[in-house]
């Protein structure tokens, strides 16, 4: 189902796709590993390059230059993830070479008082010849009651040149087995100074007590196999605010600052949610409004009140008490802010703006590397319902699954400033054509009227010259 949802998103997006050349700059997206979806926190470089109030002039492109489905998500909450590892008991499983199916184990199991495995043997035919080396292992996951999502393999020999494939199944009773990963590959290769290693095997989070690790290939044996299990702990919490000091201005456009009107600017438009207003003088108080500016249809700035409060700065016995942080009403990104005071202030207050960076989530359609294109006067990303695809992935991999975290590289120019210039308004040829037709029609009608009028006058004159009949 998730595959069809991904394909549907891709098909819809293709009909609305732009190209990287429509944007001012592109920023490499660093995506280590393999994931169906990625998320990246938007940095100041993205906010400073975007000119659309809702960040709709962003787009993600794959290595073939094709735009991939994406969305912008407000970062009201973040997930902190920590990994916990613990060693697990590993027991060799001798096998009957004539058994084609490994779904049933005829086992003699000895446990201690705590239920840990002490001895394990397989029941085989008397004339069965075992494999010369171990190809299956049983893992006892005592301590993994909170669930594990990955195992990390290590071995004594060979030291390098290993490419091995494994199947991982799990069970609570050593009789009924659930497949967790049908074909996982571990690699440890050295060649001409390059080193490629991957010794971890991932699977959906499980709380099963035992795992069975079965070697699928006929490669070199792994001596002294050791295993660590790991689990990820996720804690959700509100994202911390990032603060910027706003610059006080003498004027913004035609609006001049005064002792009651104080004007400020940020380096670029940000999703400001909180502000700090610090009065300069001790033991002062003022009733103020905090306003934010947004561009009107004619290009002028229109101001909207985002907060009303009483600001104060009181000092008693050397200790200062002030009004603290103010939360603004929700609205678009802000670059220009304004403080209106009901009474004159001797000096402009200091204004700091707090914001939480949004996150961009995209589906890994096609091959990487991926790039983020930023800034355009015309290109706008399409609203693609990728939430359905993300929900399907969580159904498959667990409700705590999240897109893998990517990071941003160094920006480079694409179309440059040209992409930020609004195109010239096209000439309204339809209106001109309509007026031409109307003028031509009026001329024809006028000509006909004049012709008729002249004909009537000529006929009247001829009637007057005709002699009366006897």
Backbone angles phi, psi at 281, to 5 degrees: -90, 145
C-beta of residue 274 within 8 angstroms of C-beta of residue 280: no
Least confident of 125-129, 164-168, 246-250: 125-129
Instruction: Examine residue 387 and say whether the peptide bond preceding it is cis (omega within 30 degrees of 0).
Output: no
Residue 237 has pLDDT above 80, yes or no: no
pTM equals 0.56
CA dist., res. 37 & res. 364, Å (int) = 5
Q: Are 382 and 19 in contact (CB under 8 A)?
A: no
Query: Quick one: DSSP state of residue 418?
Result: G
Query: H or E stretch including 341?
Result: strand 334-341
Give residue-wise pLDDT tens across range 286-311: 999 999 998 876 778 899 999 999 99
The model's pLDDT over 57-110, given as tens digits with 9 standing for 90+, comes to 999 999 999 999 999 988 756 555 667 888 999 998 876 554 444 445 455 555
Residue range 374-394: average pLDDT? 85
SS3 436: helix
DSSP summary character for residue 279: -
| Vertex 214 angle, CA 226 and 97, to 5° | 120
- Do 147 and 82 meet the contact criterion of CB atoms below 8 Å apart? no
Residue 426, pLDDT score: 57
With beta carbons less than 8 A apart as the criterion, state whether 275 and 338 touch: no
pLDDT at 449: 66
Looking only at the bridges linking them, the beta strands covering 37-41 and 404-405 are parallel
Distance, CA of 379 to CA of 300 (rounded, Å):
22
pLDDT reported for residue 397: 78
Q: Which residue has the higher pLDDT, 80 or 401?
A: 401
Q: Work out the average pLDDT over 40-44.
A: 92
Residue 69, both tokens:
């489905």
Residue 49 confidence class, pLDDT cut points 50, 70, 90: very high
**At 436, is the pLDDT very low, low, confident or very high (cuts 50, 70, 90)?**
confident
Contact predicate 422/377, CB 8 Å: yes
Asked if residues 448 and 441 have their Cβ atoms less than 8 Å apart, the reply is no
Smallest CA-to-CA distance from 335 within 10, 7, 50, 8 is with 50
Q: List, in order, residues 6 or more apart from 215 with CB less than 8 Å away.
A: 135, 136, 164, 165, 166, 222
Task: With a cut of 60, say whether residue 14 has pLDDT above it.
Answer: no
Q: How far is CA 80 from the centre of its chain?
A: 16
How far apart are the C-alpha atoms of 344 and 285, rounded to whole Å?
11
The residue ranking higher by pLDDT, 401 or 261, is 261
Residue that has been written with the tokens 């004539």 in this structure: 98
Q: Output the DSSP codes for 88-120.
A: -EEEEE---TT----S---EEEEE-TTS-EEEE
Distance between CA atoms of 128 and 177, rounded to whole angstroms? 24
Cα→Cα distances 357→41, 68, 411, 443, Å: 6, 22, 18, 64
Q: What pLDDT shows up at residue 12?
A: 44
> Which of 156-160, 310-314, 341-345, 395-399 bottoms out in mean pLDDT, i.e. has the lowest?
395-399
CA quadruple 409, 410, 414, 418: dihedral positive or negative? Answer: positive
Which residues, 6 or more positions from 171, have their beta carbon under 8 angstroms from its beta carbon?
177, 178, 208, 209, 210, 212
Can you name the residues that pair with 40 across neighbouring β-strands? 360
* Structural domains in the chain plus CATH codes: 2-76+357-420 (no CATH), 83-237 (2.60.120), 242-355 (2.60.120.260)
Q: How confident is the model at residue 189 (pLDDT cuts 50, 70, 90)?
A: confident
* Residue 375 zone, left/alpha/beta (φ > 0; ψ -120 to 50; rest): left
Residue 250 pLDDT = 94
Q: Reduced to 3 states, what is the DSSP secondary structure of residue 363?
A: strand
| % of the chain with per-residue pLDDT over 90 | 41
| Pick from 16-30, 173-187, 348-362: least confident | 16-30
| pLDDT (0 to 100) of residue 387 | 86
| pLDDT above 70 coverage of the chain, percent | 76
User: What is the rounded average pLDDT for all residues in the chain?
Assistant: 81
Q: Residue 453: its pLDDT value, please?
A: 63
User: CA 426 from chain center: how many Å?
Assistant: 35
As a whole number of angstroms, the distance between CA 34 and CA 441 comes to: 69
């Amino acid at each position: 189902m998730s595959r069809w949802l991904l394909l549907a998103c891709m098909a819809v997006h293709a009909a609305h796709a732009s190209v990287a050349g429509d944007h001012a700059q592109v920023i490499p997206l660093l995506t280590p590993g393999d994931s169906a979806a990625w998320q990246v926190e938007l940095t100041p470089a993205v906010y400073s390059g975007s000119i659309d109030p809702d960040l709709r002039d962003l787009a993600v492109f794959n290595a073939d230059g094709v735009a991939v489905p994406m969305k912008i998500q407000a970062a009201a909450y973040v997930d902190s993830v920590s990994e916990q590892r613990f060693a697990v008991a590993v027991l060799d499983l001798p096998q009957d070479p004539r058994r084609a199916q490994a779904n049933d184990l005829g086992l003699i199991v000895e446990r201690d008082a705590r239920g840990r495995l002490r001895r394990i043997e397989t029941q085989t035919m008397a004339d069965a010849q075992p494999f010369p080396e171990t190809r299956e292992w049983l893992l006892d996951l005592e301590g993994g009651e909170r669930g594990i999502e990955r195992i990390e393999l290590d071995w004594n020999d060979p030291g390098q040149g290993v490419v091995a494939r494994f199947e991982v199944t799990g069970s609570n009773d050593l009789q009924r087995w659930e497949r967790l990963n049908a074909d996982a590959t571990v690699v440890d290769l050295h060649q001409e100074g390059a080193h490629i290693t991957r010794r971890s095997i991932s699977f959906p989070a499980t709380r099963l007590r035992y795992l069975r690790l079965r070697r699928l290939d006929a490669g070199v044996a792994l001596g002294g196999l050791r295993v660590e299990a790991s689990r990820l702990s996720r804690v959700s919490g509100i994202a911390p605010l990032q603060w910027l000091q706003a610059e006080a201005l003498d004027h913004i456009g035609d609006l001049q600052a005064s002792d009651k009107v104080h004007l400020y600017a940020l380096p670029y438009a940000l999703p400001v949610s909180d502000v700090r207003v610090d009065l300069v003088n001790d033991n002062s108080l003022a009733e103020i409004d905090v306003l934010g500016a947004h561009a009107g249809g004619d290009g002028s700035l229109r101001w909207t009140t985002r907060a009303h409060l009483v600001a104060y700065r009181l000092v008693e016995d050397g200790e200062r008490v002030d009004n603290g942080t103010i939360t603004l009403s929700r609205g678009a990104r802000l670059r220009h802010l304004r403080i209106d005071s009901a009474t004159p202030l001797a000096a402009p207050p200091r204004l700091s703006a707090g914001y939480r960076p949004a996150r961009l989530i995209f589906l890994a359609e096609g091959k990487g590397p991926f790039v983020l294109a930023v800034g355009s006067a015309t290109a706008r990303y399409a609203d693609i319902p990728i939430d359905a695809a993300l929900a399907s992935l969580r159904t498959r991999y667990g409700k705590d699954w999240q897109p893998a975290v990517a990071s941003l590289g160094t920006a480079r120019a694409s179309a440059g400033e040209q992409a930020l210039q609004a195109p010239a308004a096209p000439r309204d040829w339809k209106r001109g054509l309509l007026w031409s037709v109307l003028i031509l029609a009026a001329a024809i009608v006028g000509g006909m009227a004049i012709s008729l009028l002249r004909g009537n006058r000529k006929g009247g004159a001829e009637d007057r010259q005709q002699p009366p009949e006897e």
